[in-house]
Amino acid sequence: MSGSVELGGNSGNEIAEASSTSHRKRKLTSVVWNDFDKYTRDDGRVYAMCRHCKKSLVGGSKSGTTHLRNHLKYCLPYERVNKNQLDVGQLLLQLGDAKKEEIETTGPHLYKFDQELSQHELARMIILHEYPFSIVEHAGFRSFVTSLQPLFRIPSRNTVKSDCMKIFESEKHKLSDLLEKLSSRISLTIDMWTSSSPKKNLAYVCLTAHYIDEEWKLQKRVINFYAIKIPYTGEGIAKRVMEKLFDWNIEMKLSSVVLDNCSTNDVVAQELVSKLAARGLLPVGGAVFHVSCFANILNLTVQDGLHAIHEVVHKIRESIKYIKSTQLRQQKFNEVARQVRAPQKSISLDDPTRWNTTYLMLEVALEFKYAFSDFAEHDSSYKHAPTYEEWENVSIVCNCVKVFYQIIQTFCSMKYPTSSMYFAEVCSIHLFLNEWGKSPNPFLVSIASKMMDKFQKFWDVTRMVLAIAAILDPRLKMKSAEYYYPLIYTSEGETRISEVRNGLKNLYNDYMVRSTQTSLDREYPGNIGSSSGSVSSECGGIRTVCVTSSHSVMFDTRRGFDKFLQETSSDQQKRTDLEIYLDEAVYPVKKGLDENFDILAWWKLSAPKYPIVAMMANDILGVPVSMVAFEAMFCTEGRTLDRYRSCMRPATTESLICAQDWIRNDLKDSLEGHSNLFTMTTTIDLDSEDEESTTLMEDEERSA
């Protein structure tokens, strides 16, 4: 038994080391001894040494093992070992519980091998872990499987591929049913990927549906991953997206679309809004439909700052390379650093594709700026020492980039990430940019101007939906807008706050009308959308014939009465749930916003009290303001499909990627923290079946 077995209490997981009636030495059977070594000191006392941190604790049989278990809870080396291992064994144990129970219940002699089930699980494994179809031809794999179950007939590569496609179709049908029954709206992210295959002139479009489910949990599913030929246009992308939406039958359920900040995507958003709004399918005519990706705009803004000092960044990189190229140079530099009282840190190179590493490299380099200058005097071959003015510019840029770095760190620490948490941070960025733009330093002003050009576009597109999302946070309500807008807009602050109130009210009215219409549809299902004609009925024995148009007379009469009742009873009308929600005090917090506050759980409990507002919260809080995980916000490169997937036929690639996402979502509780959707888990050989993919792609486009 491995050391990764979950440790619980004393009961149920261990056997006594020695019975009270016997003094014979017994075998240590508790799982805790997988991580401790028992030994006896010269004084005869028994101790247990932790195999991970080498700490000794009392180890006698009378001392029990509870204290040893408690030690493992706080042993950092033990924690690191367990965190770095993908505990596939635990996952298999969980997935195999049902089969294990079956064997234990019926007895191993009654267990029946199922070829079809095992073959299905093989295909799921290949999808889940991105193994090649050719794994079934590997001698080692065949030998291993035969040793486990000689009765299993290992399928061919083509059969395995066919099984994977069947799983894709089955999972797609399940997801389609789920989305059809979903009561909330869906936010769509449109993400562009490039192919890593030099032979192909293709890009890929990844469509991901984000929503809050019936249990008020954030969910997301990759619904399409299709190829398009390069060059492509915004109109072409929008057309294909609409086709996919109709395929999934979710065009009526969209609340927003999240896109990167570029001119092509602006066209995509405009085309989608015009097509969907014309059908009356978007809330408030699409006013809060287009959302610009926060991670993308953050990267573009930071890149403006780093580009302003790209020459000195190059000097610092070359300096670090030069110093660390030999041990003698490193020793000389360390001596100089001690003389100028530089901190006892290590200088290291950055990863140019991740701007956080560049920022951290520059931060450390700033602390060694005098060491670099003095080192140049001791080593005539060293030619890359930055000047005083260059160090000043590095310091200015680092102070700017630090703001963005800390904001992302704040996001990473949040337990329940929803769209409501962005507004305050985005407003803070706006205030910093305003302040930097007023600086007496011309270098800082020039950087702030370039940053603001990028940021302003994001702000104009997204500020309304972010403000409404913040209002739907019971800890904030209107307070965020009332605080930040006067700071950002000064004399125009009240006007901007009124715009937010009006936008919120318009959205609420839209939801209220749709909610009322839905209730009437349920009450009179046979009368909605009926075609013109005659309806024959009997009332009190008298046969009548009513001529109808698009709605029945009964429906029109009832709707007219409802309108009359509202108009003539205005003085008796109750306040709307939005008015009640806004008038009530904010949810109390002690010191700042509680990062562990589960806003979705709050709305789940409060939905009966604020039914229409809860519908809004269900849709708005599910908007993914950033298309990537917070940890990936530092990446400066676009998304590239790995070579294995790039060499496949586009239809095969889409099936495997989508099916993998759906299966991993089913297993996310078991796999959480262990997997990355598009990260290869092993070095694999390429399947030869996909050399003709470009030709097939052209055939697919012609037939579309």
pLDDT tens-place string over residues 518-527: 655 555 444 4
Q: Are 10 and 64 in contact (CB under 8 A)?
A: yes
**What is the C-alpha separation between 401 and 694, in angstroms, rounded?**
42
pTM of the model: 0.75
For 404-430, b where at least 16 C-beta lie within 10 A, e where not — what string? Answer: bbebbeebeeeebbbbbbbbbbbbbbb
**What is the C-alpha separation between 429 and 348, in angstroms, rounded?**
29
What integer pLDDT is reported at residue 569 of this predicted model?
Answer: 59
Tell me the two tokens of residue 30. Answer: 């508790």
Nearest in space to 290 (alpha carbons), one of 211, 190, 201: 190
Nearest in space to 621 (alpha carbons), one of 482, 407, 471, 479: 471
Q: To 10 degrees, the CA torsion angle through 314, 319, 324, 330?
A: -160
DSSP letter assigned to residue 203: E
Q: Band of the pLDDT at 325, cuts 50, 70, 90? A: very high
Lowest mean pLDDT among 248-262, 375-389, 505-519, 564-578: 564-578
pLDDT tens-place string over residues 445-479: 999 999 999 999 999 999 999 999 999 999 999 99
For the segment 194-210, the average pLDDT, to the nearest whole number, is 90
Nearest in space to 693 (alpha carbons), one of 641, 650, 656: 650
Q: Band of the pLDDT at 34, cuts 50, 70, 90? A: confident
How many C-beta neighbours within 10 Å does residue 58 have? 13
Q: Band of the pLDDT at 286, cuts 50, 70, 90? A: very high
Sign of torsion over alpha carbons 564, 567, 568, 573: positive
Lowest mean pLDDT among 24-38, 194-208, 322-336, 456-470: 24-38
**What is the C-alpha separation between 32 and 50, in angstroms, rounded?**
10
pLDDT tens-place string over residues 52-62: 888 888 888 77
What integer pLDDT is reported at residue 321 of this predicted model?
Answer: 97
pLDDT tens-place string over residues 650-691: 999 999 999 999 999 988 755 454 444 434 443 334 444 444
Say if residue 298's pLDDT is above 60: yes
What integer pLDDT is reported at residue 702 of this predicted model?
Answer: 45
Which range of 49-63, 99-113, 586-600, 652-666 scores highest in mean pLDDT? It is 652-666
pLDDT tens-place string over residues 398-414: 999 999 999 998 888 77
Nearest in space to 341 (alpha carbons), one of 374, 363, 312, 319: 374
Tell me the two tokens of residue 102. Answer: 């079956």
Lowest mean pLDDT among 176-180, 188-192, 556-560, 606-610: 556-560
CA–CA–CA angle 149, 155, 157 (5° rounding): 135
DSSP 590-640: SSS--TT--HHHHHHHHTTTSHHHHHHHHHHTT--SSSS-GGGGGB-SPEE
Q: Where are the domains of the chain?
A: 1-82, 165-293+627-703
For the segment 232-241, the average pLDDT, to the nearest whole number, is 96
**What is the C-alpha separation between 260 and 297, in angstroms, rounded?**
8
Chain mean pLDDT for the chain = 83
How many C-beta neighbours within 10 Å does residue 537 have? 10
Q: Band of the pLDDT at 40, cuts 50, 70, 90? A: confident
What integer pLDDT is reported at residue 21 of this predicted model?
Answer: 40
Q: Are 82 and 105 in contact (CB under 8 A)?
A: no
For the segment 208-236, the average pLDDT, to the nearest whole number, is 96
Lowest mean pLDDT among 23-37, 55-69, 612-626: 23-37
For the segment 411-425, the average pLDDT, to the nearest whole number, is 86
